Structure 1
Amino acid sequence: MHDNQLLTPDALPEVITRYLKAHRAHDTATAVTAFTGEATVIDDGNTYQGTEEIEGWLSRSATEFTYTIHLTNAQQTDATHYIATHHLEGNFPGGTIDLRYQFTLRDDLIERLVIEP
C-alpha cells in the first residue's frame, strides 16, 4: 500500500466514522464506545488516559465551545493508522482552525487519538 493513501471520508473505518459522528452530535456515550478501555487521547497538549478521562474530555469539549466541524481530508498511513483532517469554525479563540485527528486502531477500536493542527 502507498504511504498516506487518500481516502474518501466514507472509506474511513466504521469505528472512526462512529466516533466522529457521535462527537459532532455531542453524543458522549456513543463516542466513548469507539475507544479501547486503555486508550489515550492527546488534545491541545493534554493527555487523557482510559475510558473515564476520555469521557470527561468528550463531555467538556461538547460544552465548552459551539462550533461546526467538517471533515476535509482523510488518509490511511498504514494498516492501523488513519488521519482525518477537520475544519472547525466556532466561538473558540481564533474562530477557525484545521485540526488533524490522528487515529491508531487496535481490534477495530481506537487505541490512540492525537489531535493537533
Structure 2
Amino acid sequence: MTQNIQLTDLPQPVITYLERSRGNQRKTAIDTFDADALVVDDGHQYRGTSEIAGWLDRVVSEYEYKTTFLRAERDGHATVVVSRLEGTFPGGIVDLKYRFLLDNRNETIRELTIAP
C-alpha cells in the first residue's frame, strides 16, 4: 500500500541526494550512499561508491536537463520520488521513479532504482 508524502517529509538522505545529484554538488552526492550500495539505472547496475561515483559523473555530464518534482510516496520500506526530467537526452522529456531503500538507521541509501 502506498502513502503519498510531502517533499519536506522525505528521509534526509533522499533530500540530500536529490539536492546534490545535479550540478556542481554531484561529487558530494556520493556521501548519501552506503559503501556497498546498489544503483540500478537504465538496465545497468552500479555497486559500491566507486562505481556509483562514476555513474553520477557520467549522467550529469552526458546531458543537460532540469528536474521537476512531481510527487513522493512511501511504498512499504521504500521511498519513491517521481520527477520529470526535461533536457537534451533522446525524447527530451521523461517522468522517472526513484525508488530508495535506506539502511536500518535511515542514514544512508542502500539501494536506488531509477525507472520510467
Short-chain TM bin: over 0.9
Alignment-derived partner of residue 63 in structure 1: 61
Q: 1:92 aligns with which of 84, 89, 92?
A: 89
Q: Displacement of 1:25 after TM fit? A: 2.9
Alignment-derived partner of residue 32 in structure 1: 30
Give aligned-pair identity as a percent: 37
- Where 2:89 maps in the other structure, the secondary structure is coil
Scaled by the length of structure 1, the TM-score of the pair is 0.93
Question: What amino acid sits opposite 2:82 in the alignment?
Answer: T
Structure 1: give runs of 5+ residues left out of the alignment.
Answer: none
Scaled by the length of structure 2, the TM-score of the pair is 0.94
Alignment-derived partner of residue 110 in structure 2: 111
Mapped partners of 1:61, 1:26: distance in 2: 13
Q: 1:50 aligns with which of 45, 48, 51?
A: 48
Alignment-derived partner of residue 98 in structure 2: 101
Q: CA RMSD in A?
A: 0.9
Q: Displacement of 1:29 after TM fit? A: 2.3
Q: Displacement of 1:65 after TM fit? A: 0.1
Question: What amino acid sits opposite 2:100 in the alignment?
Answer: F
Q: 2:20 aligns with which of 2, 19, 22?
A: 22
Q: Deviations over 1:48-67 (max 9, x none)?
A: 00000000000011100000
- Where 1:33 maps in the other structure, the secondary structure is helix
Q: 1:26 touches 1:62 (CA, 8 Å); kept in 2?
A: no
